[in-house]
Amino acid sequence: MDDEVQWATGVIDKKVELENKSERLKALTRKPGIMKMDTPGLEEEKFIKSLNRRVMDIKATEHVWKRSSDLHQEIVDLGGAENLTKLRKKRKSRKDEAAPSSRAVVEVVIGPVDPSDFLRAAVQGRVKVIERFLEDGGNPNTCDEFKRTALHRASLEGHTDIVHKLLDKGADINFKDRLDCRAVHWACRGGKLGTLKALQNRGADLNVKDRLMSTPLHVATRTGHYDVVEHLLSSGIKINAKDREGDTALHDAVRLNRYKIVKLLILRGADMKVKNAEGVTATEQVKQWQFDTKETLERLDGMKDVGMV
């Protein structure tokens, strides 16, 4: 392994370990007894807690008694203990009546579907509404005021079956919204790996850029979808592609503290020396991490000295 890569992954692991330690410390300080409570109301608070606990115990006992009483009454009403089987059936029948039906509800679409309902159905996963709109000759590329189509919406929500139906009926896989985002951008934003693969199999370009020059890799990295990033890298996308600010996905991952994704990108060959528009490399960003880690360690040591850790 390259020395720089080894150094960077070491810093990442240290950063993760430190943040986990900080989180554990925060959790400890929230526990009773860790933070000092030199207030006159402390004893009163203890008394109230004790009283509340007693009330809860009484209520629980009453609940058990009530259930036992109900059971006894039901046995008597049914003619004795020998009819416990009937009692069990009776109770099961009550549960079945109270429980919601597990059978799928078949949606029946009556009348024509207007464009707004069509777009809403793409978000909600209502296949029958989508089918009715398309069967009636509706335009599969119908969009809202932001030029977001049903394909964009279904991709974001991961409704892969709707994605296929739309594409089968002529939906444009490269249709751009007002920010030039395609369906693949929306699938990556939603972290919907299955839908992304479906779009890829239907010919979607995984290196396409939006108006901000962001690729699907940029989007998946910013939104923290590790499995999507991993798939994009396995598909051979351009790992060092830059957005409008000159940032690569690695720049974004470091800035947003996406530790697992940073490590993945580095191990998959992301160039740590690429400069963004401000002349900053990912290596310099990681060095800032190292400095921040050193500061945090010193702060933790200081807390130990005063007995807070």
Flag whether pLDDT at 33 surpasses 50: no
Distance CA 285, CA 251 (A): 8
The Cα–Cα gap between 197 and 193 comes to 6
| Span 100-106, average pLDDT | 53
Total Cβ atoms within 10 A of residue 108? 7
pLDDT 10s digits, 108-163: 777 799 999 999 999 999 999 999 999 999 999 999 999 999 999 999 999 999 99
Residue 244 has pLDDT above 50, yes or no: yes
Sign of CA dihedral 130, 134, 136, 141: positive
What is the pLDDT confidence band of residue 77, given thresholds at 50, 70 and 90? Answer: very low
Query: In this predicted model, what pLDDT tens digit does every residue of 34-48 receive, in sequence order?
Result: 333 343 443 444 344
Query: DSSP assignment of 229-292, as one string?
Result: HHHHHHTT--TT---TTS--HHHHHHHTT-HHHHHHHHHTT--TT-B-TTS-BHHHHHHHHHHH
Structure tokens at 79: 């003619």
Domain segments of the chain as ranges: 114-205, 209-309
Query: Do 209-309 and 114-205 have the same topology in CATH?
Result: yes
Q: Where are the alpha helices (DSSP H) in 109-225?
A: 115-124, 127-135, 150-157, 160-168, 183-190, 193-201, 216-222
Closest CA to 75 of 61, 29, 67: 67
Q: Please give the CATH superfamily to which domain 209-309 belongs.
A: Ankyrin repeat-containing domain (1.25.40.20)
Residue range 257-308, pLDDT digits in tens: 999 999 999 999 999 999 999 999 998 988 886 666 555 545 545 554 555 4
Q: Is residue 246 a contact partner of residue 278, using CB atoms and an 8 Å limit?
A: yes
The answer as to CATH 1.25.40.20 being correct for domain 114-205 is yes
- pTM for the predicted model, two decimal places: 0.68
pLDDT for position 285: 86
Q: What is the pLDDT of residues 209-235, one digit of tens each?
A: 999 999 999 999 999 999 999 999 999
Exposed, middle or buried: residue 293 (CB in 10 Å: 0-12, 13-18, 19+)? Answer: middle
Task: Kindly tell me if the per-residue pLDDT of 62 is higher than 50.
Answer: no
In the structure, what pLDDT confidence band is assigned to residue 4 with cuts at 50, 70 and 90? Answer: confident
